[in-house]
Amino acid sequence: MSRAVSDRSTARASARLGLTLRSVLVAPLAGFESAFNVAERRARVGRHPAEGFAPFVVAAFGGASLLVLWLKVGGLLGLRDSAGSDFHWAYFGIALVLGALMSLIGQGLWGLAGRYSAYVMGGAALARDLRTVWGASSFPHVFALIFLLPLDLVIVGPATFTTDRLTDPLGRAWAALSIALAVSFALWSGWLFVRGAQAATGFDGLRALVATMVAILCLVAAVALPLVVLTVTVGAG
């Protein structure tokens, strides 16, 4: 009996999470407010973390997706140099883990710095709500990681993450489309973040943009060390 009740509770929680994420995607302000209300109810009954684990899981996926995008765009723009012979699956796996970690570190920093910057700009925000914004706004990156990455590997292969010139017309066409879609997901995520910052702080659009810049600085701080490590390891081959 208790197991059945537990299963029903888990199913309801999953359904609520799905509805909340869907609401964030189609109606961000209302969706974020719904997420904040759920966190408030969890906090009242002593649940930890109040925002749940979902924002951290989605943030980790988002960070991994961002670093995959960097591997593709960095080579295209000549910001990194990695021949096909230097590619190793172990390094690629490390890149995904580092991307997830840097996003989680940035999320934690944002919970602190965002709260302080909101206070400085005449507003107020809860750290848990700011962490929720970071996680939920990363959801479009999940599409890039789950759908685009497998297709990248099937159609183009590891060459999509190196600086080798693609000779196959289909591979070149897909690589261009994949990058365009990944950038679109990243821009969508950024827009959701601004709307989430508005919902969490009550700011107007301009101050929400300033708060977003603070979040970018948090991400830069979290990226600095892992990016240096990644560049050295991948470049060394």
Q: How many CB atoms lie within 10 A of CB 159?
A: 18
Give the position of tokens 């920093």: 109
Residues 6+ apart with CB under 8 A from 66: 99, 103, 141, 186
pLDDT at 222 over 70: yes
Residue 16 burial by CB count (10 A; 0-12/13-18/19+): exposed, middle or buried? middle
pLDDT digits (tens, 9 = 90+) for 35-52: 898 889 888 888 888 888
- Mean pLDDT over 127-133 rounds to 94
H or E segment to which residue 142 belongs: helix 139-143
Tokens describing residue 149: 């990455």
Tokens describing residue 174: 């897909």
Tokens describing residue 206: 């301009």
Is residue 7 very low, low, confident or very high in pLDDT (cuts 50, 70, 90)?
Answer: very low
pLDDT digits (tens, 9 = 90+) for 156-197: 888 777 777 777 788 888 888 988 999 999 999 999 999 999
- Cβ 178 vs Cβ 65: under 8 Å: no
How many whole angstroms separate alpha carbon 15 and alpha carbon 3? 18
The pLDDT value recorded for residue 5 is 38
- Mean pLDDT over 107-121 rounds to 91
